Structure 1
Amino acid sequence: MSNEPKKHHYVPQFYMRQFPCMADAKKVMTLERHRDVVVAASKSIARIGYEDLFRAP
């Protein structure tokens, strides 16, 4: 079994922690587009900005 991480963050988590939500320090505000509507939502830092099992070419 390999010790390589499964989630490779292309936006470092330590950087995202500089912009926390007022209600929860482990979340950041995001904007998502749903067809013609833009929705603001708070998302967990651990759940955004990564690729699963990223492999360099």
Structure 2
Amino acid sequence: MHREYTRQYHQLRTHIERMLDNGAVIAERAPLTIRRGNQVYQVACGMLISEQSAR
């Protein structure tokens, strides 16, 4: 039986796409880690979590 793939967290995906369009970069894929300037974000359990990176 074929299961159709369905995406979850559409608003989170849209938000991340906008971040990438505005200069953020994907630093890692597993777990998804995004860097924008000196700010680092990780996606966990459908949430975008921000931590201040070390300077």
TM-score (norm 1): 0.28
Instruction: Answer with 1 or 2: which has the greater Rg.
Output: 1
TM-score (norm 2): 0.28
Higher-RCO chain (CA-CA 8 Å, sequence separation at least 6): 1
Higher helix residue share: 2
